């Protein structure tokens, strides 16, 4: 269960569990929150906080991160969450007052009050678009899910164990590729575009371009399609066999009926015009003059 920073903590009771001894000097005391007879881990989601140093590696190799409340003057949610963290400290300090020294976990720095969180290999980082990132840079803001796991008891001192579980960091925008939107230059219409806008037919504009030497001469008309292939029924003239004399000898001519001419008796007292046959015979007998 994750408690949002805006929730009211008065409904929860801070409970310490049975101590766990790790060595002669160190004992761990788990802490949980109780609500309606149910116990929950002490996990909070913070408001937008500032990290001045990013992820740091200590001398013992452990990783830590400091979260700052330096923007509390501008962010009321930071002030309210800071009060809740101070309330947790007061509850633990009241329980062990006079028995142990309870060390504060909110410390004043050049970047206002800061809380230090420990990290492990399971801590994950995301950007604002839910993409995994590898690290957290210094001087960045982000939202964090933190856990108060418990208390470490070392001789007469008590230390708070705060862990960072997840982070959502505001990363500056970076463009990896050329991303400019090129401006479209307004072009002035030329002579031929004006002719088209005035309603001149496209064919006339094309002819004018050709006359001006700026147009393309239309291609010649396509060549006629090749003749269809000749089949056995239609052959070329060279392939037709010629008639031989031997073929003519085998031809038998049919006998024709004799043509009987009608005898026309001419009347000597009546003029009859010559026939066409007679005129042709007479003309053939005439000798040409020199």
- Give residue 122's domain range: 3-165
In a domain, 101, yes or no: yes
Scan for tokens 């031929």, then name that residue: 192
In a domain, 263, yes or no: no
Give DSSP secondary structure letters for the chain: --EETTS-GGG-EEEE---EE-SSSEEEEEEEEEETTEEEE-EEE--SEEESS-EEE-TTS-EEEEEE-TTTTT-HHHHHHHHHHHHHHHHHHHHTTTTSEE--SEEEETTEEEEEEEE-TT-EEE-TTS-EES---SSEEEEEEEEEEEEEEETTEEEEEEEEEEEEE-PPP---S----PPPPPPPP-HHHHHHHTT--HHHHHHHHHHTT-SPPPPPPPPPPPPPPP-SSS--GGGSPPPPHHHHHT--PPPPPPPPPPPPPPPTTS--PPPHHHHHHHHHHSPPP-
Distance from C-alpha of 171 to C-alpha of 94, rounded to nearest angstrom: 41
Q: What is the pLDDT of residue 47?
A: 97
In contact, 57 and 63? CB cutoff 8 Å: yes
In a domain, 288, yes or no: no
Q: What is the pLDDT of residue 152?
A: 96
pTM: 0.62
| Total domains, the chain | 1
In a domain, 247, yes or no: no
- Going residue by residue through the chain, which has 290 residues, state the pLDDT in tens, using 9 for 90 and above: 899 999 998 889 999 999 999 999 999 999 999 988 899 999 999 999 999 999 999 999 999 999 999 999 999 999 999 999 999 999 999 999 999 999 999 999 999 999 999 999 999 999 999 999 999 999 999 999 999 999 999 999 999 999 999 999 998 888 889 989 888 776 666 787 888 888 888 888 888 888 887 766 667 777 776 666 655 554 555 556 666 666 666 666 666 666 665 555 555 565 667 777 777 777 777 666 55
In a domain, 285, yes or no: no
Dihedral of alpha carbons 87, 91, 94, 97, sign:
negative
Q: What is the pLDDT of residue 186?
A: 66
In a domain, 91, yes or no: yes
CA 8 to chain centre: 45
Q: What is the pLDDT of residue 183?
A: 82
Q: What is the pLDDT of residue 238?
A: 57
In a domain, 31, yes or no: yes
């Amino acid at each position: 269960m994750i408690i949002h920073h805006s929730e009211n903590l008065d409904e929860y009771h801070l409970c310490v569990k049975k101590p766990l001894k790790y060595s002669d000097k160190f004992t761990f005391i788990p802490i949980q929150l109780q609500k309606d007879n149910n116990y929950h881990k002490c996990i909070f989601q913070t408001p937008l906080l500032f990290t001045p140093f990013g992820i740091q590696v200590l001398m013992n190799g452990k990783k830590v991160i400091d979260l700052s409340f330096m923007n509390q003057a501008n962010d009321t949610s930071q002030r309210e969450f800071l009060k809740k963290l101070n309330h947790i400290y007061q509850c633990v300090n009241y329980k062990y007052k006079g028995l142990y020294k309870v060390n504060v976990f909110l410390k004043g720095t050049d970047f206002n009050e800061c809380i230090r969180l420990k990290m492990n290999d399971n801590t994950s980082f995301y950007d604002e678009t839910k993409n995994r990132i590898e690290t957290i840079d210094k001087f960045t803001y982000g939202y964090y899910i933190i856990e108060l796991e418990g208390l470490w008891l070392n001789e007469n001192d008590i230390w708070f164990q705060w862990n960072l579980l997840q982070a959502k960091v505001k990363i500056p925008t970076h463009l990896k590729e050329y991303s400019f939107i090129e401006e479209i230059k307004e072009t002035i219409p030329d002579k031929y575009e004006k002719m088209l806008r005035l309603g001149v037919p496209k064919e006339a504009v094309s002819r004018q371009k050709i006359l001006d030497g700026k147009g393309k001469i239309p291609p010649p008309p396509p060549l006629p399609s090749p003749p269809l292939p000749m089949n056995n029924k239609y052959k070329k003239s060279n392939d037709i066999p010629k008639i031989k004399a031997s073929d003519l000898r085998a031809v038998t001519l049919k006998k024709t009926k004799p043509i009987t001419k009608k005898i026309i008796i001419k009347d000597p007292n009546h003029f009859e015009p010559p026939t066409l046959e007679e005129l042709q015979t007479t003309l053939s007998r005439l000798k040409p003059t020199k």
